[in-house]
Structure 1
Amino acid sequence: MHDSDPEGKRLPIKLDSTSNGEFAPVSLWPANIEANRLAHEAAATNAKRLGCSKRAFLTSSCGAASTLLAFNAANAAAGRTGGFFELPRDAALDMQLARAQVGPARQEFILDVQGHFIDTPKGTSKSAEVFLKDVFMDSDTDVMVLSFVPSARDAEPVTIQAADEVRRLVDKLEGTHRLLLHGRVNPNQPGDLKGMDELHERWGISAWKTYTQYGPNGKGYFLHDDVGIRFIEKARALGVKNICIHKGLPFGPRSYEHSQCSDIGVVARRYPDVNFLIYHSGFVSTVTEKAYDASGKSDGIDTLITSLRKHQVKPNSNVYAELGSTWRFLMRDPEQAAHALGKLIVACGENNVLWGTDSIWYGSPQDQIQAFRTFQISAELRER
C-alpha cells in the first residue's frame, strides 16, 4: 500500500481551517499555528527517543498523546486555560499508558449521530467506500447515523436508496446493525410531508432530519409554524418521534432567524413525547462562545439555552444537543469548548449531549474521538 505521508508531515489530531461546507472556513489563530509547530517538534524529538521514524510515531497512540500535550502547551502560553486535554506527560513515550488515555484501550461504546457521504463514483474523497473505511475501519466508532444535507427531492447528493445500500453493506461486513439512517424532510417543500410515509414504511429510518433555514426561494420555517406542526404531528402518527434539526451554522443572511433556536423550547414544551435533537447545538463559527448571557441577546449556543429557559424545558428531558462540527471547530480553542460544553450540559442535561462528528467532511473521526476522550473543563470554569 502506498504511504501518502512517509515523512510524517500530518499530525494525528488536526487543527486546520476545514469546513463542512455550511460555513466559511476560518483561518487558524496564532495559538493554533504555534500548537501545530510544537506538536511537530515534539514528534521529531520523541520519535528519536523511541528509535522510530516520525511517521511511525505519529501514527501511534503516543503520537496522539504527544500532539495533545503540545496543544496544551500552546494554549496555556496564549492564556487559554479554561479547557485542556488531560493526560500524563509520560503518555508521549509510554505506549501502554497512551493507549489507556486516547484509546482504543478505553473500550467505550461510541455512537456517532451524524455522518455523511456523497453518492459519487468510486475513488473520490467523499464516496461511500471512503466513508466505510474512515468510520468503520479507521476509527473507534461502533455505530454511525447517516444523515442528509438539505436539497430538493430530485437533486439529492445522497438518495435514500443509496444510503440503504450502504447500510446493507455494513450489515454484511460487520454482522451487526451498525449504520442507522435519517429520513430527510423539509415540510415547507412540496412532497416532503407525503414522502414521510415511504421513508418510514419502506426504508425503516430511525429519525427525521430537517433544516429550518432551508426552503423554496430561500425561505425557511419555524417548527411552531403551521407547516412545522404538521411535520411534528405526522412524525408522532408514524411512531418515529426523533426529529433532528440543523440549528446554527447558518447558510447566510437570508432567513437567518430560522437558523436560530427560538422555536425549540416552544415545541419541546408542547410535545414532551417527541425527542428534539439539535444538530450543531445552535453553534455559529463567528460567535465567540463565552459564559451564558442571561440578557438573551447573544447568538450561537445561547439561543438554544435561552429558548429552553424561556419555555421551562428541564435538563435531561426531550431536547438533545449534538456536537457535529461544533466540537471539531472548538478543538482549536479549548477555552470556548469548555464554555460551550458546560452550558449545554447544564441546560440540556448530562445525559442529553450527543456525540456527533459530521464525518466524513473532515476525514476519519478518530482524531475528534481522541481529543474528546481527554478533554476537561477547568476547575475554575466548573465552579462558575
Structure 2
Amino acid sequence: MTRKDSDPDGLRLPIKLDSTSNGEFVPVPLDATGRYANRLAREHTAAAARRTGQSRRRFLVSSCGAASTLLAFNAAQAAAGRTGSYFDLPADAAFDTQLAGASLEGDEFIFDVQGHYVDPTGAWLKQVPEGVRPFAMMPKAADCPSDPERAYLQCLGPDEFVKDVFLDSDTDLMVLSFVPSRADAEPVTIESADAVRRIVDEMEGTQRLLLHGRVNPNQDGDVAQMDELAERWGVSAWKTYTQWGPDGTGFWMDDEDTGIPFVEKARELGVKVICIHKGLPFGPRSYEHSQCQDIGRIARRYPDVTFIIYHSGYVVDQPERAFEHGAGRDGIDTLIQSLVDNDIGKGSNVYAELGSTWRFLMRDPDSAAHAMGKLLKYVGEDNVLWGTDSIWYGSPQDQIQAFRTFQISSELQERHGYPAITPDIRAKVFGLNAVKPYKISAEELKLHTGRDAMALRRTAYLEAPDPHFRTYGPKTRREFLNLLRHGDV
C-alpha cells in the first residue's frame, strides 16, 4: 500500500476514543482510564509496527492496527477494574493478519439507520453572520481553497460523505436523518438530502440511502408538510425530537394536541415508522421530555405503528447498571421501565437504536455490558438496531470493528441473564433487524450491493485505502456552543 497524505506519520489511532459529540449534547471529556487507553494503544501499535517491519501508518490502516488498539483498550480498562465486557480478540491478532481479519472483517449486511450529512452550501448559510467560517475546523476544510471566503465548504460535500460511509467502512445501507431545527435554519434540507441520495443511486447501483422526514408536531406547519415529504420525497420514516420545541418546550408522543395528530397523520399516509430521539438530552429545559415514559403508552395505543427509539434513552453521564423495576433511574432504564409498565414485551413494535450510544459505551466496558445486555434482554435481540450518528464521528468503521469483537463477561451473563453476543446476534443488530420496519429484503439487497458500482468502487479503493481516522463533531464545550450558534466548529 502506498502511503497517503491523510496521516503520513501515523499519529491517529484507527479506533477513535475521544470527546467528540454529535452536536446535540455537550462533549464529555475522556476520563483518566480513557486517556490511558489511548496512550497505551499508541505504545502498543508503535511496538507492533516495528515488530512487523511496517511504518506506523501502514500498520494502523491494517486490521492488525485495529486489533492492537482494541487489545490495548482491554488492558487499560482491566487495569481500572472495568471488566464487565471486552473486545474478544486473540492476543496475536496484533501481529497476525489472518487472526486480525477473522475477528475484525466480516460480510454482514450493515444497515446504519442513523446517518447525518451537513449541506455545506445550503440556504441555512444566510443565517450565519458575515465573517464567520462555519465548519472551518472540519479536517477536510484545511486542505481546501480559502478564497473566496467560504470556498472551502465545497470540500465538505457529498464526496466526503460517500468516502467516509461507503468506502472507508463496511456500511451497505444508511438512513439520512435530521437534527431538530426551525424550517428556515436546517443544516440539511430534504432537498439536499435527496440530492446526496441521488448521487449515490445514480452510480448504476442499488438504492443505498433512505431518507427521514423531520417532523416536530409542536412546530406550526410540520404535520401539514408530511404529505409533501411522503409523496414528493418518498421518505421511509419520520424523525422527531420530543425534547425540542420552537419555544424550548417539548411534548409527549401521546399528547392529544401534538403527538397524537402526528401519529394519526403517519398512519393516514402509510409511512408508519416513527423515529424518536430519546436520551442524549439537549439541556435542563423540558428535560423530562427527553425520557421515555411515553413510549410504552404510545406503542400500546398504536400497535400497527413502529416506534424506533433513537439512542435508546441513553444519557452520557448516567452509568448503566442492571435494570431494577421501579428504581427510577435515568438513561436506558426509562425505556425499559416504560415498556414493562405497559406490558410491551420483546419483539414488539418498539425498537432500540444505538447511534452515539454504542460509541460512548465503547469507553466504558461495564456500562456497555449492562446497556447492551438489558436491551437484548428486554427489548429483544430482534429489536435492537445499528446506528452510528456518522459522519459526526468520521467513518463508522471503528464502531463496526468494535462491535464485531464486543462480548459481555460470563459473570454478568450469569448474574443478570444477559445473552452472549453471538455472530447471529451481531448480524441481527448490524442490519437484519432493520429490514422489517424498513420493508427491505436483506438477501436481495446484499446480492445487488455486492456487485453494484459502489461495491466495485470500494474494491478498487481498498487497493490503497486512505482513512483519515478523524471525527467531525465538536470536542469541547466552546466548539459545541459555537456549533449551536452558527456551525462554527
For normalisation by structure 1, the TM-score amounts to: 0.97
Report how far residue 126 of structure 1 moved: 5.3
Which letter maps to 1:346?
K
Corresponding residue of 1:145: 175
The aligned runs of 1:22-41 (5 Å cut-off) are 22-41=24-43
Is contact 1:118-1:128 (8 Å) kept? no
Counterpart Cα distance in 2 of 1:279 and 1:242 = 12
Counterpart Cα distance in 2 of 1:74 and 1:345 = 27
Report how far residue 3 of structure 1 moved: 1.0
Corresponding residue of 2:245: 215
The aligned runs of 1:262-281 (5 Å cut-off) are 262-281=293-312
Is contact 1:114-1:357 (8 Å) kept? yes
| 1:329 and 2:360 correspond | yes
Corresponding residue of 1:134: 164
The aligned runs of 1:294-333 (5 Å cut-off) are 294-333=325-364
Corresponding residue of 2:266: 235
Which letter maps to 1:131?
F
Counterpart Cα distance in 2 of 1:323 and 1:126 = 25
Which letter maps to 2:328?
K
Q: Aligned with 2:224: secondary structure? A: helix
Counterpart Cα distance in 2 of 1:33 and 1:235 = 46
The aligned runs of 1:32-181 (5 Å cut-off) are 32-103=34-105, 106-121=106-121, 123-124=152-153, 127-173=157-203, 175-181=205-211
Of the candidates 229, 235, 245, which is equivalent to residue 199 of structure 1? 229
Change (3 A) 1:289 1:195: same
Q: Aligned with 2:112: secondary structure? A: strand
Q: Aligned with 1:177: secondary structure? A: coil
Report how far residue 174 of structure 1 moved: 5.4
Which letter maps to 2:377?
V
Which letter maps to 2:22?
N
Corresponding residue of 2:322: 291
Corresponding residue of 1:17: 19
Is contact 1:23-1:285 (8 Å) kept? no
Once the two structures are superposed, residues 171-220 of structure 1 have per-residue CA deviations (whole angstroms, 9 ceiling, x without a partner) of 12251110000000001111111100000001000000000011121011
Which letter maps to 1:113?
V
The Cα RMSD (Å) is: 1.3
Q: Aligned with 2:175: secondary structure? A: strand
Corresponding residue of 1:369: 400
In structure 2, stretches of 5+ residues that fail to align are 122-150, 417-489
| 1:345 and 2:341 correspond | no
Report how far residue 131 of structure 1 moved: 1.3
Counterpart Cα distance in 2 of 1:126 and 1:338 = 36
Counterpart Cα distance in 1 of 2:71 and 2:84 = 15
Corresponding residue of 1:182: 212
Report how far residue 92 of structure 1 moved: 0.9
Question: Which of the pair has the greater relative contact order for Cα pairs under 8 Å at 6+ separation?
Answer: 2
Is contact 1:221-1:228 (8 Å) kept? yes
Which letter maps to 1:28?
L
Which letter maps to 1:358?
D
Change (3 A) 1:252 1:179: same
Change (3 A) 1:315 1:243: same
Which letter maps to 2:251?
Y
Once the two structures are superposed, residues 317-341 of structure 1 have per-residue CA deviations (whole angstroms, 9 ceiling, x without a partner) of 1100000000111111111111101
Is contact 1:146-1:181 (8 Å) kept? yes
Is contact 1:119-1:127 (8 Å) kept? yes
Q: Aligned with 1:192: secondary structure? A: coil
Which letter maps to 1:203?
W
Percent same amino acid at aligned positions? 69
Counterpart Cα distance in 2 of 1:123 and 1:62 = 35
Q: Which range moved further: 115-124 or 10-19?
A: 115-124
Change (3 A) 1:126 1:213: farther
Report how far residue 8 of structure 1 moved: 1.0
